[in-house]
């Protein structure tokens, strides 16, 4: 039978470094003995027969199983970290990037161009169907919308104000035309 080390708990408390295996096995043995004494178990009860070593705990190197919420949170954190890294790469100058980051930047720009082109085509076809326009007319309208957004810096208040004054001017011209007739 393996000999257990007599522990000096005061020495362990004062120890500054990490506990070694002999300290841990001594603590476990003392805790088991106290538990058995409190619950009325004898020393041999519930223990493995002599001569057999306890099965070592498997250290698979894997993280413990996560709940669904923890998995989702972890995935969200990973996506957010990847997005931040991609934004950093896209915003950086080419000369400041490592070769693999330059490659990643090229890939990101290509994907962005493709998604922008697809979004533009979707918007063009949507406007063409909604207003009964040809694809060419719808494309001209979308380009015009982009110019307006750029001119007013996507400020809804400024766009509304400009629209109001254009409508007011159109109403004045309409009234003048009616007077002239």
- Give the distance from CA 147 to its chain's centroid: 34
Pick the more confident residue, 43 or 81: 81
Q: Name 149's Cβ contacts closer than 8 Å, sequence gap at least 6.
A: 159
pLDDT reported for residue 68: 85
| All structural domains of the chain with their residue ranges | 9-39, 97-173
Tens-place pLDDT, residues 45-63: 555 545 455 555 555 555 6
DSSP state of 96: G
Answer yes or no: is pLDDT of 1 > 50: no
Q: Which residue has the tokens 């309409």?
A: 174
Q: Please state the pTM of the whole predicted model.
A: 0.46
């Amino acid at each position: 039978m393996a000999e257990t080390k007599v522990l000096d708990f005061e020495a362990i408390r004062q120890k500054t470094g990490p506990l070694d295996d002999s300290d841990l096995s001594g603590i476990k043995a003392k805790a088991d003995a106290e538990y058995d004494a409190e619950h009325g178990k004898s020393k041999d009860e519930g223990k493995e027969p002599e001569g057999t070593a306890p099965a070592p705990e498997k250290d698979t190197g894997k993280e413990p199983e996560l709940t669904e919420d923890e998995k989702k949170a972890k995935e969200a954190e990973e996506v957010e970290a990847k997005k931040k890294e991609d934004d950093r790469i896209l915003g950086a100058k080419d000369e400041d990037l490592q070769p693999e980051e330059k490659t990643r930047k090229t890939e990101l720009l290509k994907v962005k161009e493709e998604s922008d082109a697809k979004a533009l085509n979707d918007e063009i076809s949507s406007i063409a169907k909604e207003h009964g326009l040809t694809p060419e007319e719808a494309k001209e309208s979308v380009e015009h919308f982009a110019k307006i957004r750029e001119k007013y810096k996507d400020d809804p208040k400024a766009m509304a104000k400009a629209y109001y004054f254009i409508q007011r001017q159109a109403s004045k011209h309409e009234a003048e035309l009616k007077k002239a007739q």
